[in-house]
Amino acid sequence: MPSGRAVVALLLLVALSGVGCDSAPAIVEKQPPKIVAPGAVDADAPEEFTTTESGLKYRIRRQSDGKKPGPKSLVTVHYRGWLDSGDIFDTSYGTGGRPAVFGIARVVTGWAEGLQLIGEGAMIELEIPGKLGYGDAGQPPAIPGGATLHFIVELIHVGEDEKPVDTHEGHDHGPGEHGKLPHGPLPTDPAEQKLSEGFTATSSGLKYKITKESTGRKPKATDTVKVHYRGKLTNGTVFDESYKRGVPAEFPLKGVIAGWTEGLQLVGEGGTIELLIPGKLGYPNGQPPTIPPGATLHFTVELLEVK
């Protein structure tokens, strides 16, 4: 779902108008990344929520007569998602924030229903019950089972309908699915290939590197673990992390994606492991709007406690 990294560089430009010119260099300061924040709310925007037949609650914070999306549309949005506790689990806003692009058919039911209620340029707030979100399973470690999800969403652009993906044998060009070897898939993305250097591959295709050794107890799939973690895409985009929230995550190991269940059993309590998880062991269909279908996930995980 989509940190504050302000980089200031000084570029010296010498204007040479002729041989032997003594012009002083001009100093140009590179601007820091722009901080992206939600846009304005209508002065007369309703404070009460409307509930639909499905159980979705919404209130339109900024009206627009722009084009409304359909159930298959590709849309461009800015958004923020938080739990009842107020903890933000995903956002496209922030320093250097960029909008997300995805097909409505790929998101949770509450998003798909809610976004079709507004037009381009509008903002909507959604309260999505668990049954219209991630259900009883949730999306550990960030989203508990049955959690109500809260979102503000700004609909920036409505595109064409999403084209169906060709899933015929030999035509699946998802990341990490080419050149399968006995020790796992060979990355075809140059960034992923460079990133995977120094990792050990398991027979499932998981790649791991233990960056802090520990002789502590290793968890079993049936154990509950407490961890700090950061999850990134291979392009470096952080989509989730417990560090930013400042609170470790705790969850049953069998309740997470397969790459986590396998990987965390390789490190002891007090240790740190990096995981490169291919799409088939993570989210084969993606987790829009932040994780594309088949994306390889790069996690750094500190195993704080095994319960």
Residue pLDDT, tens place only, 45-92: 999 999 999 999 999 999 999 999 999 898 999 999 999 999 988 888
Give the pLDDT score at 3: 38
First to last CA, the chain: 29
Do 180-306 and 50-161 have the same topology in CATH? yes
User: Which CATH code is given to the segment(s) 180-306?
Assistant: 3.10.50.40
Helical ranges in the chain per DSSP H? 109-115, 190-195, 258-263
Q: Give the architecture-level CATH label for domain 50-161.
A: Roll (3.10)
Active site residue 229: yes
From the candidates 118, 124, 257, 291, give the one annotated as an active-site residue. Answer: 257
- Angstrom distance (rounded) from CA 263 to CA 297: 12
From the candidates 58, 79, 251, 283, give the one annotated as an active-site residue. Answer: 283
From the candidates 58, 239, 277, 291, give the one annotated as an active-site residue. Answer: 239
Does the pLDDT at position 177 exceed 60? no
Does the pLDDT at position 31 exceed 90? no
Active site residue 89: no
HSE on the CB side for 63, CA within 13 Å?
A: 6
Q: Which range, 113-117, 185-189, 200-204, 277-281, is most confident?
A: 113-117
Instruction: Give the pLDDT mean for 11-16.
Output: 27
Residue extents of the structural domains in the chain: 50-161, 180-306
More confident residue, 151 or 2: 151
Q: Which is nearest to 156 in space by CA: 63, 40, 78? A: 78
More confident residue, 72 or 176: 72
More confident residue, 294 or 169: 294
Give the pLDDT score at 156: 94
Instruction: Give the pLDDT mean for 226-232.
Output: 93
From the candidates 240, 251, 273, 291, give the one annotated as an active-site residue. Answer: 240
Give the pLDDT score at 216: 92
What are the strands, taking DSSP E only, across the chain?
Answer: 10-13, 26-29, 35-36, 50-51, 57-62, 73-82, 88-91, 94-95, 100-103, 123-128, 149-161, 180-181, 184-185, 200-201, 207-212, 224-233, 238-241, 249-252, 272-277, 297-306
Active site residue 299: yes
Give the pLDDT score at 195: 76
From the candidates 229, 273, 277, 291, give the one annotated as an active-site residue. Answer: 229
Active site residue 277: no
pLDDT tens-digit series, residues 181-225: 222 333 445 666 677 778 998 888 899 999 999 999 999 999 999
Give the pLDDT score at 21: 43
Does the pLDDT at position 180 exceed 80? no
Does the pLDDT at position 22 exceed 50? no
HSE on the CB side for 262, CA within 13 Å?
A: 18
- Quick one: what percent of the chain has pLDDT higher than 90? 46
Instruction: Give the pLDDT mean for 230-239.
Output: 89
Instruction: Give the pLDDT mean for 232-255.
Output: 87
From the candidates 89, 134, 151, 299, give the one annotated as an active-site residue. Answer: 299
Mean pLDDT of the chain: 80
